[in-house]
A and B are shown apart, each in its own frame.
Chain A
Amino acid sequence: MKPRYLIPLFYILFLLLPIYWLVAMSFKTTNEILSGFSLFPQTFTLENYAAIFTDPTWYWGYINSILYVSINTVISVAVALPAAYAFSRYRFLGDKHLFFWLLTNRMAPAAVFALPFFQLYSAVGLFDTHLAVALAHCLFNIPLAVWILEGFMGGVPKELDETAYVDGYSFPRFFVQIFLPTIKAGVGVTAFFCFMFSWVELLLAKTLTAVEAKPIAAVMTRTASSAGYELGLLAAAGTLTIIPGAIVIYFVRNYIAKGFALGRV
């Protein structure tokens, strides 16, 4: 092993330590946690997980989160695809300003929007629905999706489009049968990023939900304050929130490096 590999090695150890602590904590009994320090769980227990899987408030939190994240990912990618195509292939009135304006929405602090969002989605009757959170997250995910997809599409030569038209493809058929398969890596990477940013966001998701669509992250914060010091339970819930992300990232592992490189400034 080359000595320089020690740097990423130590970095990864640093990344894994807090995660390890969270996971270790989740297998400890409340008694053990409060009684003092132990590096490994002394009395290994699954009771924290059992508590989560038997309590509907808890497991519905997961289902709610996964539901709105999925809806958001589908919406974001679906509307970003044609838009990114337009930006990568055509010049049109105001295109550059539009692109920049889209990106500025990524800069908007979520805290700024929390209250107006609450009023807006209450006014249109979507408050406490999965759709409300999914739509709200479009604010920062669509600009990102357009940005990444535009980068990927820009790498596909225009000749591909022209050849297809010469071969008699209609635009929708060309787009679905030829163009989409060509940039499927890009679509995968984009979906990954949309999933990620929707999954990790809490402020808007919490503001826009009360009971029916309450995300796991919000369940955790409320439980933490109401049930006192149930660290084991909190750790188990936290551990479970890492899993969906880990699964998704495993699928796109070979495209991550590429996906990052292709966004343009």
Chain B
Amino acid sequence: MARITLQNLRHSYLPNPSGPDDYALKEIDHVWEDGGAYALLGPSGCGKSTLLNIISGLLVPSEGKILFDDRDMTALPPDKRNIAQVFQFPVIYDTMSVYDNLAFPLRNRGRDEKIVRERVTAIAEMLEVTSMLDTRAANLSPDNKQKISMGRGLVRNDVNVVMFDEPLTVIDPHLKWKLRSKLKELHQRVNATMIYVTHDQTEALTFADQVVVMDLGVIVQIGTPVELFERPAHTFVGHFIGSPGMNILPCEVRDGGAFFRGQPVTLEGPITKIGTRAEIGVRPEFVSLADSGIEAVVRKASDIGRHNVVEVMVGDTRIAAVTEGDRPAKGDTVHLQFRPDQTRLYADGWLATEARG
């Protein structure tokens, strides 16, 4: 049990990195609070697995420090850090029984057989694998194998953090949600810090209390799922989270206001920053079709169940809107309204408006 602090962490896989582009991780400063359920979300290659391997000790960072509470762990190997990690593909010891697999991390640390039995039984029960304890692990289905991998991560009750590296990749879709809710439940029961790495926003948003979004080796935003959805700190977050993602519209800033194709757009509040590139960000959920407003031509309208997703073109800019009720037909001319308190300005990609009140 510990608070994990990352200080000025940088990592490059090259021996002599010259520019920022040579770094897989550029300047990470972050504190993982004890007992939190975190998700590390980002596209492939954003550096999230690198970060995970640095925390677990499989990689030594080029620069910076990792502290568990106040102890410097940067140079310690994985087995000295008291952490657990579950990998993308299930790692099980083929020749052992399920019981021996689960007992392996405890036995390696010389725990008493009585304690081993207690812990293994408890974990097996939590994961609902009690009936399989005597079977050979090699014969299990992929999802059960992954459960055993998770079980090996959770079986020690003194771990500082349990990390999951895209653990549901090989699991059938219909079993994914089951394992996911199992994990959530386990977090509440074992009360250890958990870091869940994924590129799947649904997995991240359902599992975590705090989501850390990464892109190109930097942490872009940290927040609750609601915060990420409603107030993305960066256009990347807006675009990456939500389906369809946030509309990002190139605009002009003059006289303290934003103009999209010459028409003024009301923002949530005053502009705080001005950069070289200005964009308006508004989620499709907050774009509505109205009698007046920005004129647009419908390009495509699809029914996705309870809502319609309407894609319209304003000049050569595409805008998505989530609407209810009747669908407009392709080629119709419509008018768009943005909900002001959900319309923000981004300068060079970063949020540049302040919420009013």
Answer whether A and B touch in the complex at a CB cut-off of 8 Å.
no
